[in-house]
């Protein structure tokens, strides 16, 4: 199915989504954030529509957005109808807080008229009280069942273009909820661990939860929810997908953790190299290793690698040692090899420079 010009589900690659964090009525700030998100690789953005002010600014934001926008609606179904008039590419609702079947039917009719997608997003924090009580809490079954009940209602109203999500901030609950959903439904699934937290804990929770689901083939679209900038959510999303070989985006960077055998400031070297290669689009592997133990092996496996030694370092390119360099030249020579490789790839040559 399509959200704007982005395909979600079927054989399409897993889509990376994020959400703006500016006030939607701050048009310039929101558009600037959307551009930063798109630059980081965000393919689909969600924009909260909490009130009429946000609705009235949405059209301007949409017309300047580089990526399709899904309007996030809670409580007041009329905001969904109004924002569709302003050109939303999709709507995300949690039907549990819209006020029942009648408002849901109004939203259904509007998305059908506009031929846009509808995300049915159930969250542990906003489950209907009756469901919550019946299941003794926000259990996986409660989340999945909730979503499916709404889906059946929407199907009665004729809606087919649906994406489902059932998120919790608990990794095991979320995983199990999506497993159930994937067994009982064929709709594309938007996956995420909601309210995952600040950087380190949030990244770990997201990587564990999304990683397990994606490895089981569950998930068509993902959002990493962090208390931090949306660009960071996007970068983490790609790192998760790259680690499972589900998407390629830019270099894969390998560096060792260092230990007492390391005779260089590998942390500083790795940081320098990592930062210097962030503008590269090609999925090349670059390795920076601290000593002779695992260094040559990993550097040889990479497209370009550095294995540091006691007094010098070996630069590898596609399995071959191409230079032996002094410590103070290692970064410069490594980056020159990386750039030369990227140029070759850009000219349609293979990694050894052959056409
Ligand atoms: S490559 Fe060498 S320095 Fe790096 S962790 Fe392994 S043994 Fe330690």
The 10s digit of each residue's pLDDT in 145-188 is: 999 999 999 999 999 999 999 999 899 999 999 999 999 999 99
Does a structural domain hold residue 352?
A: no
Does a structural domain hold residue 135?
A: yes
Q: Which residues of 104-130 are buried (b: 16+ CB within 10 A; e: fewer)?
A: bbebbebbbebebbbbbbbbbeebbee
Q: Which residues span the domain enclosing 17? A: 2-243
Look-up of token digits 């939203």:
107
* Residue 99: per-residue pLDDT: 87
How far apart (Å, rounded) are the C-alpha atoms in residues 117 and 106? Answer: 15
Answer for the pair 302, 330: CB distance below 8 angstroms, yes or no.
Answer: no
Answer for the pair 119, 162: CB distance below 8 angstroms, yes or no.
Answer: yes
**283 C-alpha vs ligand 1 centroid, how far in Å?**
25
Same domain as 285, residue 205: no
Q: What is the mean pLDDT of residues 327-335?
A: 96
Is residue 353 scored above 80 in pLDDT? no
Does a structural domain hold residue 355?
A: no
What's this model's pTM, rounded to 2 decimal places? 0.90
Residues 232/259/310/340 CA torsion (nearest 10 deg): -20
**292 C-alpha vs ligand 1 centroid, how far in Å?**
7
What is the CATH number for 141? 3.20.20.20
Same domain as 300, residue 162: no
Q: Which of 211, 243, 275 is the last residue of a domain?
A: 243
Same domain as 337, residue 226: no
Answer for the pair 289, 313: CB distance below 8 angstroms, yes or no.
Answer: no
* Residue 199: per-residue pLDDT: 82
Same domain as 187, residue 264: no
What is the CATH number for 278? 3.30.413.10
Q: Which of 243, 264, 284 is the last residue of a domain?
A: 243
Q: Report the number of distinct structural domains present in the chain.
A: 2
Same domain as 121, residue 96: yes
Does a structural domain hold residue 353?
A: no
Same domain as 258, residue 234: no
Take atom 6 of ligand 1 and give the residue whose Cα is closest. 294
* Residue 191: per-residue pLDDT: 97
Per-residue pLDDT of 86-98, as tens digits, reads 999 999 999 988 9
Tokens of 143: 């989340």
Q: In degrees rounded to 5, what are phi and psi of residue 298? A: -70, -40
Tokens of 262: 């390391």
Same domain as 163, residue 51: yes
* Residue 198: per-residue pLDDT: 82
How far apart (Å, rounded) are the C-alpha atoms in residues 68 and 4? Answer: 5
Q: In degrees rounded to 5, what are phi and psi of residue 170? A: -95, 125
Same domain as 236, residue 165: yes
Q: Within 10 Å of residue 314's Cβ, how many Cβ atoms?
A: 21
Per-residue pLDDT of 18-32, as tens digits, reads 999 999 999 999 999
Per-residue pLDDT of 230-251, as tens digits, reads 999 999 999 999 999 999 989 9
Ligand 1 pocket: which residues have CB below 6 Å? 256-259, 261-262, 289-291, 293-295
Per-residue pLDDT of 251-305, as tens digits, reads 999 999 999 999 999 999 999 999 999 999 899 999 999 998 989 999 999 999 9
Q: Which of 190, 215, 243 is the last residue of a domain?
A: 243
Indicate which atom in ligand 1 lies nearest the CA of residue 261. 3
* Residue 126: per-residue pLDDT: 76
């Amino acid at each position: 199915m399509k959200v704007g010009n982005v395909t979600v589900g079927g054989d399409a690659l897993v889509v990376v989504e994020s959400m703006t964090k500016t006030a939607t009525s701050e048009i310039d700030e929101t558009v600037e954030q959307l551009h930063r998100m798109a630059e980081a690789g965000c393919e689909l953005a969600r924009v909260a529509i909490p009130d009429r002010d946000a609705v009235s600014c949405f059209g301007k934001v949409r017309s300047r957005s580089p990526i399709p926008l899904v309007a996030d609606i809670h409580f007041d179904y009329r905001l969904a109808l109004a924002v569709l008039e302003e050109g939303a590419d999709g709507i995300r609702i949690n039907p549990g807080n819209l006020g029942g079947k009648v408002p849901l039917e109004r939203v259904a009719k509007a998305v059908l008229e506009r031929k846009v997608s509808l995300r049915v997003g159930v969250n542990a924090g906003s489950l209907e009280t009756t469901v919550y009580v019946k299941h003794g809490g926000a259990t996986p079954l409660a989340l999945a069942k909730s979503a499916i009940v709404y889906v059946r209602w929407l199907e009665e109203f004729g809606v087919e273009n649906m994406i489902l999500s059932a998120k919790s901030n608990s990794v095991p609950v979320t995983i199990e909820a999506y497993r159930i959903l994937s067994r009982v439904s064929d709709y594309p699934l938007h996956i995420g661990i909601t309210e995952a937290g600040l950087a380190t804990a949030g990244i770990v929770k997201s990587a564990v939860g999304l990683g397990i689901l994606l490895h089981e083939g569950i998930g068509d679209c993902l959002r990493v929810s962090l208390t931090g900038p949306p660009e960071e959510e996007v970068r983490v999303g790609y790192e998760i997908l790259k680690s499972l070989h589900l998407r390629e985006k830019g270099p894969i960077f390998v560096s060792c953790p260092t230990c007492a055998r390391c005779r260089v400031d590998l942390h500083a070297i790795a940081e320098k190299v990592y930062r210097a290669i962030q503008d590269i689009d090609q999925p090349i592997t670059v390795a920076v290793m601290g000593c002779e133990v695992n260094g040559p092996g990993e550097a040889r496996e990479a497209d370009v690698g550095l294995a540091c030694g006691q007094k010098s370092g070996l630069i590898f390119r596609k399995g071959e040692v191409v230079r032996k360099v002094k410590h103070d030249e290692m970064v410069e020579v490594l980056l020159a090899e990386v750039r030369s490789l990227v140029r070759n790839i850009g000219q349609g040559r293979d990694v050894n420079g052959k056409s």
